[in-house]
Structure 1
């Protein structure tokens, strides 16, 4: 093999031939065994036209042909010529369908006389199809969620379509080729309809209200094309019929769904069904924004999990364990007498053997089905989802057969692109938890959690997690779609970005909130950096600029964003359970740091887009804010006014301090604080993605490694030791005694604190982007002394790249794969940076992470607590010795000790019984002069 075109795709989706734009950009990757392969030119062929493009561009290349018209289809192929003159063959042809429409034909329809709020409905229409049908396409949208059938069969595998958008300003439509679903003669279209997000009540503490509307509605049209060139439109309108009586009796995102199979109407979506009793539809007078073709993949069933354990709770309930906290619902196969009601309730954890439903708050998360007695039936809810690992089953006829219940996993169907592995199974499990957390919360929009009465698109969560998300899954189309909603909501608020998008919360959550509103600038910038997409900056630029302008209107010329309501470093582990905003890092420091960052992002984006005046203006504003930050919050000695890890991490990672000597002192103080806390985490949502980068970049890799691999509470790995299979919202969502955190807000599936995975990819394994879209990679592993191996793989826009390293004795061997048509900067410890071209490479260097492997100095009760915590074996021996005399004292010592150079171990166990001093002294003496290499 010399070189072949491996993949060709249009715009941002792999899951469909449909494109949402007349000029879809094209991306292709190359597989080659030739080292250093670089593209010199590309030939693109569509129908009878071929275009030659000089240069090496192969990612999001501008459409070189005439714009597509609505309904048009074509095939595109590409052939490449390398710099050495060799030419590939033509790629496999890529079919492209224009998924947009010139004019939306259907009106909104729904039940004419609903008898309750959010009433599910069935809609239908019979219509003839003449001879010579050449093509049929269905366009539909809903205020709510819809499943469409043609002649009794679903038109696609979508779930909860068309998904949640900012309904007042933006709706998306599905485009489905249904040619094979129709036949000459009479045909029938049927629609199952429910309220889903549109009719849900949003809000907390008993103040939840409907934001959008009381009833769901549907709009769509069938576009029929015939061989003679004629066309026909079958659109929603008065001709349709509706029924509010069907098997889905009630449905809600939070409440769950209830079915009565006795109300099923077999054949309701087939021709000839007797719809006596059905009524004419109501034509809804709500003004519908012009639907736009979707750019994000749809929600699908993406997996199934069996029951791994069945138990009976102390109260006598049958509880099923699926072994994994997931998002989805249950599918059951059951047989029983008519009228038998089976109830399924869901929860993420157990407490004292029972479902822990307290964290669900007002969400009932309960599904039920009433059997019709016709024999075995397989049933699954249609318009709801839950976050759960456990489910209780009530009303099952006879004993529950675990094989008859399956957990169906739901999420937006994103392509996996990133993997990580290491020699530490706990770290690998944590990374898998990050993946599962993202899967579950990337469901139509990027939600905060999937289980309680929330499930909202919190802007702060995705702002910190976007880099990790962009590595793990191909999520650009998904996030670009959500950013369109953000921009629409922002326009309603004069540039202010709401804390949740779509915006459904009122009260104190309205205003400029640092770290949350900055999603408007950070997320587009991340998409540009990780996917090489300048287009997303261009589309979001006005939103980015409007956000910083809104903040500047508050701050004036001071450069400081201070004195306003903020969420701050949310969920700092030191914050009280009922006040997650009470972090150690001052909220004004956090806000000003974010203002400086967003201003610089806007300045850099403006420069890339050719907005020269804006680039200069916002760069000056950014520098003014950085100077104000330094003047107000940073001392010349390298101390922050707010002496908290997050404050130091912000100053370092956002480039707020540039003086090398001051930066070194800031990094040293950060390392001191991290050690003082016993290498247990001390940051919240906004500090957590930054702290390991700040430590490692400041020369304290060992401290970053200890922090990452800590298993005591609070830490990233503590939940893993407690059986977590997703990332938690709180560091201690489950307390050490196995009880649920008493805070009002406790979730066991939140991705925000998993943002550290990006550092694991870039630094622990060593794979990251040096230039936007990985056009040039950065290979920069920093082996942690506690690991013997680490690896990251990522399907970049140019092809798969990987970096792995293995420790053998005192040597580190790095193996890297650089995709064709790219290059990489290699930065290894102890060596100057250098550049390599495409191909497979191997490097060897000396292990420099080994001070922990040197001979242990003499340790005693007179040793500083810093010396004790920096020697994991000594720390464990000290705790064990104290616990052998007084377990309670050991627990207090672990939680309360400050691990610093100026305090001895003896001073830190002041007033302990004499037996404790003796036990600790003996334990440390036994460790003296032993080889530390096995203790790390």
Structure 2
């Protein structure tokens, strides 16, 4: 870490009146020391910052430094700017600030500026010359400030730009001095500064408009063909002072923009034209949208006038899946797009309404899917550091959201006296373990082991005298499809059953982590606690044959998948689960807690056909119902849009919510057949289980050791399976009705007899 000399500075006077001030410093490189050998720039902000050197952006980062638990961590980025300083002695370093998460609106209670009222910029430029001389330029009282052309900016509400106020040369030596004022130092503790270990947020791709038309009310609407996260970009010429207004939404309703799910988020950008050729790109906000409403466009709007810029954290794609059923392929693509849209610096629940928070429960169940689709190690490692910071300040409590902005907002009547909560708080255990299995990084597991143990130790203090986790508020099987739209917590599954099952899983997982890390005493202690929880669960929730209290799909799925039931009880519970699923017409009857595990519980107890029928059902509620309705991302509710095209009447309705896409993990592990036998896939299991009328499927995963891939196809010759095993690893090939085969590194083709499900 650098030795900090810089000061956090804010614009003085009225330069910050619109929440987007410009800061700059003209400087001259020291003479007589030869050429610049290297130059690094460290930069961060209270707010979001875009950094310019001689008028050029120093990187492609946007919305930097993102959102961390600002009370304990403010991340900075380091950029190599050597090449930019090789053009001469005179230069200008400029910082453009926006409200971002620091001072913008957060949550649905209308609050803002929870972390502070002052936007600030912080930069330290270290230039090393050929002779070893070091020149350091820092933010301090010698900088200047000016109001920008951004007249409003908020992540929820949008951004307003007045091009008449724009000075393209403000961060160059040609920039005018007119109107520039001073800066003031802010009180800031540099001990909060920490290097950003996750990837930056950047523009990832550009989607052209697919269609422009006029709505029944006379509005101009644009469809980009894909529900995405980002903003619109365009070049336009019109009369000076003319205003172009852009509203964004994910869906249409009655032929108009469907904005009700946004709640209070305005999701509206405005652009006031200068009279010349203007370029608009609102980089201090982001929207979740497929459709846009455009008002005030000069002349006729055409599809090639606008483009949608897709923005998210820069993640490398690692896992692929494809099969013979195009509906399932679209479902999988929806999972991928849902991941991209919600992995924007923080793993959020949704990217469009007045929320966009790091809900812990969503990630707890989705982590294995995320770690297959993308290299999320750095992204989630950074987020877990925020979790640990928040948790340490609250005696082991893992909050509902991380960073925990809800603690700053007014009391939430729906969530009385929040404490550790099953699934949501269990992310402290389930996420590090999912990353351990995916990447095999012992250091990462060790780093987060204290958070894992702190969570279970706190929960063990919350148990009832019967040894059950049924004493505090629980979300339970949140968004059970049979719950009323206005009461999403009213699930069929008993909340104590759900919570106690989750605690058992967490205790066993922490015990396993302790063994990996050599903490023998901890392993024995948590094994013993898990045994006590299982005994209490069986005594109070399960009868002799295997009937689980509340007798619904979720409680059986959890009891089976988490290992609470064995032998005859497990067999009976699997049969009962299959009966419940069949009785429901193979429509989904589970919520957040049960949905990720129901297909695995079915296939794991010999009911593969039922699992496939559940996966491929098209009537609502089902995974494929949204696909039949044209969905391009995963919905929050199974029926976020009703069959008649109207939006679900519930206040909480998102069309981009990745949690229910956790079924993709089953598609990867069972349909394609790829899973780790050892952490990091040093030893892999290749075990496809054909079914569901599929004639072929394939999966591939770039593991830490190389590419692991499988493709299977059913034909006249039987089941033909092609496998690629990375160098330095081995795999076990397990096919239905066949003995296990040991596969060394290399490519293999195996033919087996077809086996009926």
Distance 2:13 2:445 in 1: 46
Q: Which residue of the partner structure matches residue 784 of structure 1?
A: 691
Change (3 A) 1:835 1:552: same
CA distance in 2, matches of 1:831, 1:412: 43
State how far apart, in whole Å, the 1-side matches of 2:743 and 2:339 are. Answer: 33
**CA displacement at 1:353 relative to structure 2:** 0.6
Task: Give yes or no for the alignment of 1:214 onto 2:146.
Answer: no
1:641-697 CA distance string (max 9 Å, x none): 111111001101111112x11100000000000001000001111111100000000
2:46 to 117, 121, 143: 143
Q: Check whether the contact 1:117–1:215 (CA below 8 A) recurs between aligned residues.
A: no
Cα deviation for residue 490 of structure 1 reads: 0.6
Aligned to 2:709: 802
Conservation of the 8 A alpha-carbon contact between 2:103 and 2:112: no
1:529 and 1:729 map into 2 onto residues whose CA distance is 27
Alignment of 1:893-932 (within 5 A): none
Equivalent-residue separation in structure 2 for 1:715 and 1:666 (angstroms): 22
Distance 1:328 1:593, change over 3 A: same
Give the secondary structure class of the aligned counterpart of 1:270: coil
Q: Distance in 2 between matches of 1:249 and 1:644?
A: 54
Maintained 8 Å contact 1:171/1:289 = no
The SS at the match of 1:210 is coil
Give 1:102's aligned residue: 2
Match of 1:397 among 298, 301, 305: 298
In structure 1, what is the Cα distance between the partners aligned to 2:17 and 2:157? 14
Question: How many angstroms does 1:487 deviate by?
Answer: 0.3
Show the counterpart of 2:24.
124
Shift of residue 557, structure 1, vs aligned partner: 6.7
Taking the aligned partners of 1:557 and 1:340, their CA distance within structure 2 comes to 69
Given that residues 371 and 438 in structure 2 are in contact (C-alpha distance below 8 angstroms), is that contact kept between their aligned partners in structure 1? yes
Q: Give the one of 601, 605, 627 matched to 2:535.
A: 627
1:200 equivalent to 2:104? Answer yes
State the match for 2:212 in structure 1: 310
The answer (yes or no) to whether the contact 1:776–1:823 under 8 Å persists in 2 is yes
Aligned: 1:566 with 2:566: no
Say which SS state the counterpart of residue 727 (structure 2) adopts: strand
Once the two structures are TM-superposed, the CA of residue 559 in structure 1 deviates from its matched residue by 2.9
- The residue aligned with 1:480 is 381
Q: Which residue of 2 aligns with 1:669?
A: 576
1:521 and 1:557 mapped to 2: Cα distance? 24
The aligned runs of 1:431-446 (5 Å cut-off) are 431-446=332-347
Deviation track 1:694-743 (CA, whole Å, cap 9, x = no partner) reads 00000000000000000000000000000000000000000011100000
CA contact (8 A) 1:679 1:707 kept: yes
Q: 5+ unaligned residues in a row in structure 2: which ranges?
A: none
Match of 2:505 among 570, 584, 597: 597
Alignment of 1:34-433 (within 5 A): 101-114=1-14, 119-131=19-31, 132=34, 133-182=36-85, 183-204=87-108, 206-243=109-146, 245-374=147-276, 376-433=277-334
Distance across 1 between alignment mates of 2:113 and 2:594:
34
Q: Using the TM superposition, give the Cα deviation of residue 627 of structure 1 relative to its aligned residue in structure 2, in angstroms.
A: 1.3
2:496 pairs, out of 584, 588, 597, with: 588
Q: Which residue of 2 aligns with 1:923?
A: none
2: CA distance, partners of 1:189 / 1:200: 25
What is the CA-CA distance between 1:828 and the residue it aligns to?
A: 1.1
Larger Rg: 1
Question: Which residue is 2:630 aligned to?
Answer: 723
Cα distance, 1:203 vs structure 2: 3.1
Match of 1:466 among 367, 382, 393: 367
Determine if contact 1:144/1:193 at 8 Å carries over to the other structure: yes
Quick check: 1:505 aligned with 2:413? no
Q: Residues 377, 272 of structure 1: CA spacing in aligned structure 2 closer, same or farther, 3 A cutoff?
A: closer
1:112 CA drift (Å)? 2.1
Q: For the residues of structure 1 that align with 2:4 and 2:447, how far apart are their CA atoms?
A: 24
Are residues 1:643 and 2:565 paired? Answer: no
Q: 1: distance between equivalents of 2:120 and 2:692?
A: 59
Q: Distance in 2 between matches of 1:759 and 1:731?
A: 18
- The verdict on how the C-alpha distance between 1:288 and 1:831 changes in structure 2, with shifts beyond 3 A counting, is same
Query: What SS does structure 1 have at the residue aligned with 2:405?
Result: coil
CA distance in 1, matches of 2:551, 2:557: 11
1:436 match: secondary structure: helix
Q: Aligned pair in 2 of structure 1 residues 810, 656: CA closer, same or farther (>3 Å)?
A: farther
* Aligned-pair CA distance for 1:338: 0.3
Cα distance in 2 for partners of 1:241, 1:381 equals 24
What's the CA shift string for 1:437-470, capped at 9, x where partnerless? 0011000010110000011100000110000000
**Residue 630 (structure 1) shift:** 1.1
Native 8 Å contact 1:145 1:196 kept in 2: yes
Following superposition, the deviation at residue 554 of structure 1 comes to: 1.2
SS of 1:367's equivalent in the other structure is strand
CA distance in 1, matches of 2:521, 2:504: 18
Q: CA deviation at 1:291?
A: 1.6
Cα distance in 1 for residues equivalent to 2:679 and 2:404? 31
| Equivalent residue pairs, number | 746
Deviation at 1:772, TM superposition (A): 0.3
After superposition, residues 740-759 of structure 1 pair within 5 angstroms as: 740-759=647-666
Question: CA offsets, 1:55-74, max 9 Å, x none?
Answer: xxxxxxxxxxxxxxxxxxxx
Q: Greater CA deviation, 611-620 or 722-731?
A: 611-620
Q: CA deviation at 1:532?
A: 0.7
Q: What CA distance in whole angstroms lies between the structure 2 residues aligned with 1:102 and 1:302? A: 30
Task: Pick closer, same or farther for the CA change 1:343–1:738 going to 2, 3 Å.
Answer: same
Residues 8 and 185, structure 2, Cα contact 8 Å, conserved in 1: yes
Q: Does the aligned pair in 2 maintain the 1:783–1:849 contact within 8 Å?
A: no
SS at 2:649's partner residue?
Answer: coil
Q: Distance in 1 between matches of 2:611 and 2:464?
A: 38
Q: CA deviation at 1:215?
A: 3.0
SS in 2 for 1:778: strand
Equivalent position SS for 1:490: helix
SS in 1 for 2:574: helix
Structure 1 residue 115: Cα displacement: 7.7
Whole-angstrom distance in 2 between the partners of 1:110 and 1:665: 66
Q: Secondary structure at the match of 1:480?
A: helix
Cα separation, 2, equivalents of 1:620 and 1:573: 36
Match of 1:656 in 2: 564
List alignment gaps of at least 5 residues for structure 1: 1-100, 851-936
Corresponding residue for 1:708? 615
Which digits, 9 at most, give the CA deviation of each residue in 1:331-357, with x for residues without a partner? 011110100100000000000110000
After TM superposition, the runs of 4+ consecutive aligned structure 1 residues lying more than 4 A away are: 114-118
Q: Tell me if structure 1 keeps the 8 A contact 2:336–2:373.
A: yes
1:288-324 CA-to-partner distances (Å, cap 9, x unmatched) read 5432222111011000001111111111111000000
Change (3 A) 1:154 1:684: same
1:159: how far off? 0.8
The answer as to whether partners of 1:118 and 1:199 remain within 8 angstroms in 2 is no
TM-score (norm 1): 0.78
Deviation at 1:277, TM superposition (A): 2.2
Contact persistence 1:118–1:215 (CA under 8 A): no
What corresponds to 2:606 in structure 1?
Answer: 699
